[in-house]
């Protein structure tokens, strides 16, 4: 009888989550305001950081989590929760950067792209967690 290879569940959702975090990090390289602080490339990394630095740190953590998981191992669900939290922080930072930009500036492309990719990361992590919970209920 052929050996059955066990596949990692929700592989596609995890791939979407990883890509979304990487794209959120890439969004920090875009201009975050139309003029003034943050209007140049790498606008989220400007000298007057504001809420954009929350997005930078959260997106960087979310991007590095899969690599850390491979090295450290551990509970898959805990890593997915960490990814969800990183995505939520990207969304919160982006919304705050849009709603409360630095003085005398207006938001531009960066926070909107980060918001969209943060929402995608949250959706992917949430879907993965929901499916894992469903599988746990079925097993018990």
Is residue 95 situated within a structural domain? Answer: yes
CB distance 37 to 48 below 8 Å: yes
CB distance 2 to 128 below 8 Å: no
What is the model's pLDDT at position 7? Answer: 61
What is the model's pLDDT at position 50? Answer: 84
The residue written with tokens 């740190």 in the block is 57
Report which DSSP code applies to 42: S
Phi first, then psi: give them for residue 30, nearest 5 degrees: -85, 160
Q: State the CB neighbour count (10 A cutoff) for residue 48.
A: 13
Is residue 62 situated within a structural domain? Answer: yes
Rounded to whole angstroms, the Cα distance separating 13 from 80 reads 11
What is the model's pLDDT at position 62? Answer: 98
Rounded to whole angstroms, the Cα distance separating 25 from 104 reads 25
CA distances from 90 to 4, 14, 34, 85 (A): 39, 17, 20, 9
The residue written with tokens 């596949």 in the block is 7
The residue written with tokens 């979310």 in the block is 62
Tens digits of pLDDT across the chain (140 residues):
666 555 666 889 999 999 999 999 999 999 999 888 888 999 999 877 789 999 999 999 999 999 999 999 889 899 999 999 999 999 999 999 999 988 888 899 999 999 999 999 999 999 999 988 887 777 77
Report the number of distinct structural domains present in the chain.
Answer: 1
What is the model's pLDDT at position 8? Answer: 64
Rounded to whole angstroms, the Cα distance separating 31 from 15 reads 27
Q: Which domain holds residue 51?
A: 11-139
Is residue 79 situated within a structural domain? Answer: yes
Is residue 4 situated within a structural domain? Answer: no
Is residue 69 situated within a structural domain? Answer: yes
What is the model's pLDDT at position 1? Answer: 62
Is residue 1 situated within a structural domain? Answer: no
């Amino acid at each position: 009888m052929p050996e059955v290879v066990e596949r990692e569940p929700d592989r596609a959702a995890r791939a979407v989550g990883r890509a979304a975090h990487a794209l959120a990090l890439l969004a920090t390289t875009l201009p975050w305001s139309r003029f003034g602080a943050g209007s140049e490339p790498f606008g989220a990394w400007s000298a007057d950081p504001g809420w954009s630095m929350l997005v930078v740190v959260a997106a960087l953590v979310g991007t590095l989590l899969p690599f850390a998981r491979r090295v450290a191992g551990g509970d898959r669900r805990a890593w997915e929760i960490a990814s969800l939290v990183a995505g939520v922080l990207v969304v919160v930072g982006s919304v705050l950067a849009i709603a409360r930009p630095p003085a005398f500036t207006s938001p531009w492309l960066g926070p909107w792209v980060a918001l969209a990719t943060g929402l995608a990361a949250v959706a992917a992590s949430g879907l993965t967690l929901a499916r894992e919970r469903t599988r746990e209920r079925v097993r018990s």
